[in-house]
């Protein structure tokens, strides 16, 4: 399952970040790394962006970025 598919109010754990180069590095620099918990706060009406809480701070991710983050 990807982060894009998670419903608001759910907490998930990152299993893998697909992607390469600058995109993967940017996501990891935001604190989204393997085995970190992510709480999905809300999703915009059209699905973009997704607002999450990770490592104690709020973050908004585009749908395309949420799609490459595998969670459990």
Q: Going by CATH, does the domain composed of 3-71 fall within 2.60.120.10?
A: no
pLDDT at residue 45 in the model:
87
- CA-closest candidate to residue 38, choices 51, 19, 49: 51
38-57 per-position pLDDT tens digit: 999 999 988 789 999 999 99
Banded pLDDT at 11 (limits 50, 70, 90): very high
Coil, strand, or helix at residue 28?
helix
pLDDT at residue 47 in the model:
76
What is the reported pTM?
Answer: 0.87
**With contact defined as beta carbons under 8 Å apart, do 62 and 3 qualify?**
no
* Separation between Cα atoms, residue 56 and residue 35, nearest integer Å: 15
pLDDT at residue 16 in the model:
93
């Amino acid at each position: 399952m990807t982060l894009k598919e998670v419903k608001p109010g759910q907490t998930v754990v990152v299993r893998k970040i697909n992607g390469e180069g600058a995109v993967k590095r940017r996501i990891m620099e935001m604190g989204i790394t393997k085995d970190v918990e992510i709480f999905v706060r809300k999703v915009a009406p059209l699905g973009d962006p997704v607002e999450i809480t990770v490592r104690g701070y709020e973050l908004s991710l585009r749908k395309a970025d949420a799609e490459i983050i595998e969670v459990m």
